[in-house]
């Protein structure tokens, strides 16, 4: 049931400089049935203000730039104003958290407004994170704080700029309303966008306790909207649910290869934080590696190191087995489910080798290339070399235009020199300019390092959002040189190693 517009906001339309956007809404999750979600409206935040906006995402959604600058947009994307055609709701799901069954979870602070029909015919869900309590808040306040919201906004768009599958972020708005975490902070709302926010945990919920038929209904909905090819799988015949499990496994394998090649640590890979579409979802205690430390733990709450960087591929596979277990009543037998899951390891290994070879400028792999890759990773770990700066410098060095050499980054010069000799022998038959150009297209100059996010947050807490805007522009095109922003690509300062990021937000 739609809630009426709050009377206190009835005059927003009249004061806005642009008319309400002509968005074509659909609400397929709401139409799926009451068992899957609860209709409710966001809780208002007082005196909201803009912190950041992505024009790229607005363009994708067909939102007029004039409207995006309006007071009406500010109210709507904070949750203070209902957009005509939207039907806000919070969905229910369950999940495994840090390897333990957590039972019912759900959208505890995220409210889905509905799906916007984009110009290319692809619906995009629009969700407000931090929009207030829901029936699934588990005694929480349903709010997000400014620091985590800025991190999610920037990283969502940074990942898209890197070509990594991800949810997107349209905007982040703030309010001086107080929110208590470890300390008192201010509230914020991120407007998130994705083809779907369905998670592994949605299927776990309806497999382990939902009403009869709900699991099949959800799986059919997912297949028909996102995986229609599973209806005619040559491999699994008339078993579209096994085909779905295999398709999700393949997408997850590709995603994890993207993460590992880029040096991205998610930090909290619970099954309720795993996208059924193979998207990076739920940016909490994430981090891009500075020094290459394979066992790096970016989440201060992860005392056992379950989600350390080098464990991410195996954790993704563990999570897929949880999804397979949830889908087993539909798949029918364990052997078929295991066959569907079997694609993950070879798909991940092939995708990672392909991406690491590309970082070396190798379009086609030869015998010995995997050893070349493994050996440089060993050297990077041995000397704790900055991961992204090494690859960017190597790219320029191959092209004959280095401002700095990779040798300056290492302690063990003799070991590096031996590896460089092998590497140059490998690429000697290839045109150097073309190799360097290809490398510069996959080895980014700019990443959302923790210290850059921290600087943007500190400025924003003083009501200065200029660094948020600057970082957004640079991270939207992270492979470009942006010579006016060289400082944003420097080695991290010494104090950056003391930044602690946890699950708290």
d(CA 221, CA 474): 38
d(CA 318, CA 324): 10
Based on the residue annotation, tell me whether 272 is a catalytic residue of this protein: yes
Q: How far is CA 110 from CA 129, 177, 184, 457, 465, in A?
A: 4, 18, 21, 22, 24
d(CA 185, CA 144): 10
CA proximity to 300, closest of 99, 145, 497, 493: 497
CA proximity to 126, closest of 115, 110, 141: 115
Q: Which conformational region is residue 152 in: left (phi greater than 0), alpha (psi within -120 to 50 degrees), or beta?
A: alpha
| Residue linked to tokens 């070991």 | 415
Contact between 168 and 190 under an 8 Å Cβ cutoff? The reply is: no
Catalytic choice (107, 272, 282, 383)? 272
For 390, the enclosing helix (H) or strand (E) is helix 387-398
**Partners of residue 90 on adjacent β-strands:** 38
**Partners of residue 180 on adjacent β-strands:** 184
Which tokens hold the place of 478? Answer: 């992270």
CA-atom Rg of the chain in angstroms: 23
d(CA 276, CA 197): 8
d(CA 106, CA 381): 39
Which tokens hold the place of 111? Answer: 């409210």
CA count, 13 A, side-chain hemisphere, 420: 17
Helix, strand, coil tally for the chain in percent (to 5): 45, 15, 40
| DSSP annotation string for 318-336 | HHHHHHHHHHHHHH-SHHH
Four-CA torsion 21, 44, 453, 52, nearest 10 degrees: 30
Active site residues: 272
């Amino acid at each position: 049931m739609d809630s009426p517009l709050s009377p206190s906001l009835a005059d927003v339309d009249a004061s806005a400089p642009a008319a309400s956007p002509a968005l074509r809404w659909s609400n397929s999750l709401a139409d799926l049935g009451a068992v899957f979600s609860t209709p409710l409206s966001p809780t208002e935040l007082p005196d909201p203000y803009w912190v950041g906006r992505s024009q790229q995402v607005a363009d994708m959604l067909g939102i007029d730039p004039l409207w995006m600058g309006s007071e009406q947009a500010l109210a709507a994307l904070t949750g203070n104003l209902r957009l005509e055609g939207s039907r806000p709701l919070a969905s229910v799901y369950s999940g495994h958290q840090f390897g333990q069954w957590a039972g019912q979870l759900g959208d505890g602070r995220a409210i889905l407004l509905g799906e916007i029909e984009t110009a290319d015919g692809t619906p995009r869900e629009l969700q407000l994170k931090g929009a207030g309590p829901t029936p699934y808040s588990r005694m929480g306040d349903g709010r997000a704080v400014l620091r985590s919201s800025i991190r999610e906004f920037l990283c969502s768009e940074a990942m898209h700029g890197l070509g990594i599958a991800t949810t997107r972020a349209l905007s982040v708005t703030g309010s001086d309303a107080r929110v208590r975490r470890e300390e008192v902070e201010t509230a914020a709302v991120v407007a998130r966008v994705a083809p779907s926010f369905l998670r592994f945990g949605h299927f776990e919920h309806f497999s382990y306790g939902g009403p009869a038929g709900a699991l099949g209904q959800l799986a059919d909905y997912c297949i028909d909207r996102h995986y229609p090819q599973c209806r005619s799988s040559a491999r699994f015949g008339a078993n579209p649910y096994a085909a779905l499990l295999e398709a999700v496994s393949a997408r997850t394998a590709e995603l994890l290869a993207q993460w590992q090649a880029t040096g991205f640590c998610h930090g909290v890979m619970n099954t309720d934080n795993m996208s059924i579409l193979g998207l990076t979802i739920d940016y909490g205690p994430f981090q891009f590696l500075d020094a290459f430390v394979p066992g790096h733990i970016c989440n201060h709450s992860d005392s056992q190191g379950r989600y350390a960087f080098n464990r991410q591929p195996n954790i993704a596979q563990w999570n897929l087995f949880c999804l397979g277990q949830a889908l087993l009543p539909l798949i029918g037998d364990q052997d078929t489910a295991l066959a569907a899951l079997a694609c993950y390891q070879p798909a991940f290994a092939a995708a990672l080798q392909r991406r690491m070879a590309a970082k070396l400028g190798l379009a086609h792999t030869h015998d010995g290339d995997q050893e070349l890759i493994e050996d440089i990773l060993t050297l990077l770990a041995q000397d704790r070399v900055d991961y992204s700066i090494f690859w960017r410098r190597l790219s320029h060095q191959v092209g004959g235009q280095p401002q700095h050499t990779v040798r300056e980054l290492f302690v063990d010069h003799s070991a590096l020199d031996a590896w460089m000799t092998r590497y140059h022998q490998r690429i000697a038959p290839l045109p150097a300019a073309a190799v360097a150009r290809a490398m510069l297209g996959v080895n980014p100059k700019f990443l959302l390092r923790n210290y850059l996010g921290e600087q943007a947050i500190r400025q924003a807490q003083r009501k200065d959002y200029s660094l948020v805007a600057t970082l957004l522009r640079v991270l939207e095109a992270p492979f470009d040189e942006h010579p006016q922003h060289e400082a944003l690509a420097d080695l991290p300062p010494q104090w950056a190693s003391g930044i602690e990021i946890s699950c708290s937000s």
